[in-house]
Amino acid sequence: MTKTLPIGMFDSGVGGLTVLKALRTCLPCEDILYLGDTARLPYGTKSPETVTRYAVQASGRLVERGVKLLVVACNTASSVALEALREAYPGIPVVGVVEPGAQASCAASRTGTIAVIATESTIRGNAYQRAIHAIRPQARVIGRPCPLFVALAEEGWVDGELVEGVAARYLAPLFRLNPQSCQNPEDSTVSRVQPLQPLQPFLADEPDCLVLGCTHFPLLASAIRNVIGPDVAIVDSAETTASAVQAELAARGLLRTEAGCGTTRFLTTDDVPRFARTGSLFLGMPIAETDVELVDL
């Protein structure tokens, strides 16, 4: 396996570009090949068997083009498909986003009470619970599915009263937020949602750490922070995943160290213009349609 091969990474859509952004910062010399399976998103509502099949197919397309490492930049796929990918593509290291996120949350939590918000499939599979308990057995882990966050991020609706209203609806049971502020985001009163005031003083049995267990969710981090207040640590696994990829490449002697900027290429399974437009929000820089290739899985 050569150092000059790219890192391959995939997600159900554009959410994994938050991980790519962190990789570009951490590993500027590396070439990266990113596949967004936008034709079949979201993965979070699919069965584990279906997600595993999709993950093997997406990874196969990357492997056939030549990659030195696979990054599963999707929490749902990371929670159910890592072993299947390692069996399907032996010899290629596979890094998911769940374990790095679990490590970061264990380091960030003072009390050991950790909340995880993610897709329905990730929460149902208890992937973060297992990963956190493997590191910190006495931790108390509370999972909460937040499926609407994916749609909001995909639409580029990442702040404002609507987003905070949805966040309040999801997070109020976890953080004992002021119930008068938690309007139903689907009704006509959403425009009157007021900024939330977390109860004070900080409650010992409340989570002191919130894991963004979906790569779409970092785009909503500011709105989530406005809802839960300043005292809760928010963990985004993107940077930790980038560090894990760097460590894995170094351990295998696969790091590129020569000067120069690495390249990034994009593959998508549906709607190139939408991928370029929405992906630019996640990556934090423009993606040209000419840099995106349509592929069929």
The reply to whether 261 belongs to the active site is: no
Is residue 44 part of an annotated ligand binding site?
A: yes
Burial class (CB in 10 A: 0-12, 13-18, 19+), 259: exposed
Q: Is 43 annotated as a binding-site member?
A: yes
Instruction: Name the active-site residue from 26, 29, 74, 182.
Output: 74
160 DSSP β-pair partners: none
* Helix pair angle (148-155, 161-175), 10° resolution: 150
Catalytic residue selected from 106, 146, 209, 214: 214
Is 31 annotated as a binding-site member? no
Taking alpha carbons only, the member of 65, 72, 9, 39 closest to residue 297 is: 39
Beta carbons within 8 Å of 174's beta carbon, 6+ residues apart: 115, 142, 144, 206, 207, 210
The count of other CB atoms within 10 Å of the CB of residue 154 is 20
Whether residue 34 is annotated as binding a ligand: the answer is no
Residue 264, annotated as binding a ligand: no
74 is catalytic: yes
What would the two tokens of residue 63 be?
């492997």
Residue 11 assigned to a binding site: yes
12 is an annotated ligand-binding site residue: yes
What is the pairing mode between strands 113-118 and 7-11? Answer: unpaired
95 SS3 class: strand
133 is in an annotated binding site: no
How many other CB atoms are found less than 10 A from the CB of residue 212?
26
Does residue 44 contact residue 119 with C-beta atoms inside 8 Å? yes
Residues of the binding site: 11-12, 43-44, 75-76, 215-216
Residues of the binding site for substrate: 11-12, 43-44, 75-76, 215-216
Residues annotated catalytic, as ranges = 74, 214
